[in-house]
Structure 1
Amino acid sequence: MEFETRAIHAGQAPDAATGSVTTPIYQTSTFAQEAVGVHKGYDYARVANPTRTALEECLASLESAAHGHAFSSGLGATTTLMHLVDPGQRVVCVNDVYGGVYRMFSQVYAPKGYAFTYLPPEELSTGLAAHLDETTRLVWVESPTNPLLNVVDIHAAATAAHEVGALLVVDNTFASPFLQRPLELGADVVVHSTTKYLGGHSDVVGGFVATNDPAVSERLRFLQKSLGAVPGPFDSWLVLRGLKTLAVRMQRHCANARAVVAFLEDHPRVVDVLYPGRPSHPGHEIAARQMDDFGGMVSFLVESEDEAVDLVARTRVWTLAESLGGVESLIEHPYRMTHASTADAPFAAPRNLIRLSVGIEAAEDLVDDLAHALAAVPART
């Protein structure tokens, strides 16, 4: 079946008991057993829940994965994955990484004896092998990255990681499986914040991990049960509902992003536009090869930090808020907001950077609102 069909039907057969077309919300903490140890596949909801199972089966299918594991948040998924690493082992990570992941790596795990090496995206694509050794357990990449929209060659990174027995983990949140399926490119593990495009409506927080490695999956299932960072049935249902419209939403996100980029490219107050769909983008060729389209995230630079801070507070259709991937368009200042935890890092987000999560409103309204906000920016001196 094609992607759009699986998004609606995979793991979501009509309810056997009632015929309900929509997967029910199994709002229960425990399940009746016929005898000691004899049950219908469920005993306690932290271990498994039918609504969560439907989500895991559907999203695994969309990521071309044999195994899927849902979590209470993207950072809950990341924390669980970090239990595949032991103190003294090393994680090689893209330096343009989500601020929450950097905060976790640098302030939670590094003090406990975990080693981290941060590399620029181009080095991960072309020179990763030189930075790996037998202590490397994970290579952690985003593509496109957050917030600079850089691109990593996933196949090349996977090849280098596998040479030393490391696992390649790809955060696929920005692309979604509709645009990019890292497991098909050689990655071992895919991680998502389902809060973003997969849920799609800014009304749920969740995470997800997909893999084709049965040993990794078995370990993750054990950790999922033992650490307890699992989503409730209603949260699982909300993400499952979001998946049904993922394809049509992503098509609109991409189309609107192209319109926004075209406007920003020609605006005299915009210093640069960061979007992998631009032929001038340094990762455009790789993105065109490994993605089906270029996504709904756009970043751009203005003249100064003051201009950026003033501008993001001046829009009317674009909402000043953290997060991304919802149907509504969001605007933010990464240096002071989503990536404030990297402010003291050598790879801090630029102070004059603005990040856009392009929603599915009318493109004309989005462009007009940006035009109004930019027009009010003081002229450069």
Structure 2
Amino acid sequence: MDDLGDSTRCVHAGQPAAVPGQPLAPGPVFAAPFHLHPKGVESGADGYGRMDSPSRRLLESAIGELEGGDCLVFGSGQAAINALLMTVLRPGDTLMMPSDGYYSVRIFAATTLAELGITTVEVPTAGPYPSMDGVRLVLLESPANPGLDVVDITRVAPAAHAAGALVAVDNTAATPLGQRPLDLGADVSVASATKAISGHSDLIMGYVATRSPELLAGMTKWRTLAGGISSPFDAWLARRSLSTLDLRLRAQTANAAALVEVLLADPLVTGVRWPGLPSDPSFEIASRQMRRIPGIVGFTLPSADHVEQFLRHSRFVAAATSFGGLHTSADRREQWGDSTPPGFVRLSCGIEDAADLVADVQRALSATRAG
């Protein structure tokens, strides 16, 4: 399907062949146990929902087509990345990961992994990258959350492989329509499907994608034994939402392009970040590596109080964590323990009309300045 357009791929990825009299898209299959043959479980037949589920397989097939590998869906993005880490790493191993990446993964590394005797080396997404000799896994995040730096995967992945390390990329912000890490040299693509993949801010989910049968088998075993699975209904909702991913991303990216001009022009705002901006430090790599830029913008107001006033005065920008949904939202990241200034805002553009969103942000900034 790689020769087709993005919307066509999103609508048809993983869908079963048409059957007269059946719906265009399968409904959810609600089952924990399934009927077994009286003689016992049969190979290839569903037996228990924790091990496998028809609704989950349809979603995995669809995401796998978009990512270009085999996919496993988990109950959250954290569960997905933990499965990767716990499958690959052993006591005495070294993990290289971004110092500016998702804070919960850094906490997991500093606590659980450290207690297991696994060493963590933190490196800024933008580099420079030290020697990878002795590293078992290089975890990248591009664009990084929340700072939006971009790493040159095509440069880092070969260096890691030459040192004997595996490479995984957190593809949450970009989505497989923005970049395909497996095509760029990564061994694993991991993401929170809570964000743009599902896109309606109504479920929690994550996934991994890989072309390695060994890694896939290991993470499948971990998922089965650890139990970090998604429900059939959540899997069905995510597959239904996936069909509009291209349409949603187009609107979000267009809104981000419009809003950065407003932010750059406002005297109260500093540190505007968006990889699609020609002046952004990540613009050159993003332009070369990514197929589209996500609708996520970073900027800084003078203080946490200024952020509060901005959100109070805005009609359409909701105060909310997470990103990639239909509604425009803003999150003051320092409140969660991210090492960002108190006034740093990660703004996730929704699909509102650009003119309405621009006018709303201008009004909110003007009222914040006046206050």
Name the TM tier (shorter chain). Answer: over 0.9
Between the aligned partners of 2:43 and 2:315, the Cα distance in structure 1 is: 54
| 1:102 paired residue number | 106
- 8 Å contact from structure 2 (residues 313, 368) kept in 1: no
2:126 is aligned to 122
Aligned partners of 2:310, 2:143: CA distance in 1, in Å?
Answer: 24
SS of residue matched to 1:51: helix
Is 2:269 the partner of 1:273? no
Q: Distance in 2 between matches of 1:233 and 1:18?
A: 23
Give 5+ residue unaligned stretches, structure 1.
Answer: 343-347
1:282 corresponds in structure 2 to: 281
Query: Structure 1 vs Structure 2: percent identity of aligned residues?
Result: 37
Compute the displacement of 1:15 (Å): 7.5
Q: How far does residue 107 in structure 1 lie from its aligned partner after superposition?
A: 2.7
User: Does 2:33 correspond to 1:30?
Assistant: yes
Rounded Cα–Cα distance in structure 1 between residues aligned with 2:93 and 2:337: 24
Mean Cα displacement is larger for which, 363-372 or 206-215? 363-372
Shift of residue 167, structure 1, vs aligned partner:
1.2
What is the Cα deviation at residue 40 of structure 1? 5.1
Write the distance in 2 (CA, Å) between the matches of 1:44 and 1:5.
33
Residue 48 of structure 2 corresponds to which residue in structure 1? 44
- Determine whether 1:4 maps to 2:7: yes
- The residue that corresponds to 2:365 in the other structure is 374
Contact 2:138 2:166 in 1 (8 A): yes
What SS class does the counterpart of residue 324 from structure 2 fall into? coil
Give 1:132's aligned residue. 132
Distance in 1, Cα, partners of 2:273 & 2:153: 20
Mapping of 1:55-204 within 5 angstroms?
Answer: 55-65=59-69, 67-83=70-86, 84-123=88-127, 127-128=128-129, 130-134=130-134, 136-204=135-203
The CA deviation string for residues 34-86 of structure 1, in whole angstroms up to 9 with x for no partner, is 33232652111111100000001110100011x11000000010111111211
> How much does 1:265 deviate?
1.3
Letter in 1 for 2:133: D
Aligned-pair distance for 1:108?
Answer: 2.5
Residue by residue, what CA displacement relative to the aligned partner does 1:205-224 show, whole Å, maximum 9, x if unpaired?
00000001111111111111
Name the counterpart of 1:345: none
Q: CA deviation at 1:87?
A: 2.0
Q: Deviations over 1:267-291 (max 9, x none)?
A: 1211221001111111111000111
* Aligned length in residues: 366
Letter in 2 for 1:320: A
- Secondary structure class of the residue paired with 1:42: coil
- In the alignment, the residues of structure 1 paired with residue 312 and residue 95 of structure 2 have an alpha-carbon distance, to the nearest angstrom, of 37
CA RMSD of superposed structures (Å): 1.7
SS in 1 for 2:73: strand
Quickly say closer, same or farther: Cα 1:59–1:368, change in 2 above 3 A.
same
Match of 2:24 in 1: 21
Q: What CA deviation, in whole Å up to 9, does each residue of 1:135-182 have, x standing for no partner? A: x11111111111111111111111111012211111111111111111
Aligned AA (2:31): T
C-alpha distance after superposition, 1:260-316 (max 9, x if no partner): 111111112112210011111111110001111211000111223332343234322
Distance 1:207 1:76, change over 3 A: same
The structure-2 alpha-carbon separation of the partners of 1:286 and 1:155, relative to structure 1 and needing over 3 Å to count, comes to: same
Deviates more, 1:83-92 or 1:309-318: 309-318
List per-residue Cα deviations over 1:350-381 (Å, max 9, x = no partner).
2221110000001112111211221122469x
CA distances 1:213-249 after superposition (whole Å, capped 9, x unpaired): 1111111111111111010100101111111011111
Task: Tell me the TM-score normalized by structure 1.
Answer: 0.92
For residues 324-361 of structure 1, give each alpha carbon's deviation from its aligned partner in whole angstroms, at most 9, with x where no partner exists.
Answer: 1111110110001xxx234xxxxx12222111000000
CA–CA distance in structure 2, aligned partners of residues 341 and 14 of structure 1: 48
Counterpart code for 1:362: D
